[in-house]
Structure 1
């Protein structure tokens, strides 16, 4: 890719066309990622914390220093439901059926989901809180959940952010940096606004390029540089990552760790990496046509599922 020519001209069609057109096939391909031996691991524990909001988001109970959990222990604890949303806007006549179910949720349906999740007793947490629980056994609320939003469309800070705030809930915003400030996408000021309100800014690569296709020159461009930019814009330590299309391979994991990420999220029910589980945590696409009862059922099923490695 000639990045010097692409940085200012990438559009939604060029960046996310594969997601809209490839859909299920892209996710299925992720399940067939090649197995590449991982390097020895040494995950660093982060201190528990994260903003709290009455009725919607809570910080874990702090505890004295404990031994770092083994990968096996981390896998056993990886049961917090994590939902993935994309655009929050009304459907249009040009939206495909896949787009309508997987990539765009109308605002009224989004609010229905949030109300159902909150009324069922779930509390939104942050990836940092999840990391503290996974690595140190730090206590979480009785029914924790992570609500995440991918890509960085402008309707996320304009609509989803307000919906979450009105309910005392926190979101995790996985942003690809190539589009920041472009027409129809999240602005620098919006990133800071969301971060200052206690939500979490995460990285979604520079240009939504499939991680399984990276070469030696891609690691800095896709992992390190976007993290540095998002940290500057948000004022946060950006240490959580979401794979484009949910797809990953073991070759990417040491590079993610080197870049400074402590957690990373895939999609659906692919096995967790047995050596670096913190960088392959499960996450599920939220289906926009689900009723409130259906989204609660999905969250409940994820909370009780046995993690696979």
Structure 2
């Protein structure tokens, strides 16, 4: 089965907010409702590692990938308890050069704290997958070759030192990936990588469905239907 057949949801931050210029934040109550919606439809949210393993085994039909880009600290405080309560897992993509810092790459703000190394270990111990979002959140498409390979290789090495186990996945910052970026990810030894739009690289450029605070249950239903209209149910 092609890894693009199963829907993968893309989250970033789960927190209350007054402003959200990049539409990356979902309020905790909304997030809890979205996860309950999945459970109510007989679906189970899982990490990319778990989803891809289930696909290889032919047991992925009722699974939905859950991913969280950037590694915001609110994942540990707001998202993790909901996921554990529902019996779900998820993948968090961390920016290793900014652990304990904030999302300085977003010029319009607001500033959001990122998880520390200790928090990454804690969420991993709770059953979540921690994977790479590069070292500095650099857009990899069109990046100089030296920077490109450093971003993807160093971030993987850093995470493996923090977690004490192999890291197999990466998400492209901003969803930007070109052929050279994909080849750098392949050379660094990743088993999969997540983008946004479908790409030719298949397992090294997996598509995802963006989820925002505006996604109430009807919109989630439509987004799921559109996914399967494109990819088909298998």
- Mark the CA change 1:103 to 1:247 in structure 2 (over 3 Å): closer, same or farther: same
Mapped pair 1:131 → 2:48: no
Structure 1 runs (4+) deviating above 4 angstroms are none
Q: Secondary structure at the match of 2:193?
A: strand
Q: 1:169 to 1:131 in 2, by over 3 A?
A: closer
Structure 1 CA distance for aligned equivalents of residues 83 and 222 of structure 2:
20
Gaps of 5+ in 1: 1-72
Aligned length: 222
Aligned 8 A contact 2:54 2:60 in 1: no
Contact 1:117/1:295 (8 A) holds in 2 = no
Q: Which residue pairs with 1:282 in the alignment?
A: 207
Higher RCO (CA-CA < 8 Å; seq separation 6+): 1
On the 8 A contact 1:133/1:139 being kept in 2, the answer is: yes
The root-mean-square deviation of aligned C-alpha atoms, in Å, is 1.9
Question: Is 2:137 the counterpart of 1:208?
Answer: yes
Report the 3-state secondary structure (helix = DSSP H, G, I; strand = E; otherwise coil) of the residue aligned with 2:145.
coil
Indicate yes or no: 2:81 matched with 1:162.
Answer: yes
Of the three residues 214, 223, 232, the one matched with 1:298 is: 223
SS at match of 2:141: helix
* 2:22 matches 1:87: no
Q: Residue 118 of structure 1 is aligned with which of 31, 34, 39?
A: 39
Distance 1:125 1:159 in 2: 17
Which protein is bigger by CA-based radius of gyration?
1
Kept after mapping to 1: 8 A contact 2:51/2:64: no
Matches of 2:164 and 2:229, distance apart in 1? 35
Query: Take 2:146 and 2:82, find their aligned partners in 1: how far apart are those partners?
Result: 39
CA distance in 1, matches of 2:157, 2:163: 10
Q: Which residue of structure 1 lines up, in the alignment, with residue 24 of structure 2?
A: 103
Q: 2:31 & 2:49 partners in 1: Cα distance?
A: 24
Query: For 1:305, what is the secondary structure of its paired residue?
Result: helix
- Name the structure 2 match of 1:218: 147
* Aligned-pair CA distance for 1:304: 4.5
Report the secondary structure of 2:77's partner residue.
helix
- Matched position secondary structure for 2:231: coil
Q: CA deviation at 1:205?
A: 0.8
How far did residue 148 of structure 1 move? Answer: 0.7
**How big is the shift at 1:203?**
0.6
| 1:46-83 Cα shifts (integer Å, max 9, x gaps) | xxxxxxxxxxxxxxxxxxxxxxxxxxx63xx5211111
Secondary structure of 1:241's counterpart equals strand
Shift of 1:171: 1.1
Deviation at 1:133, TM superposition (A): 5.3
- Normalising by structure 2, report the TM-score: 0.87
Deviation of 1:153 (Å): 1.5
Per the TM alignment, residue 187 of structure 1 is displaced from its structure 2 partner at its CA by 1.1
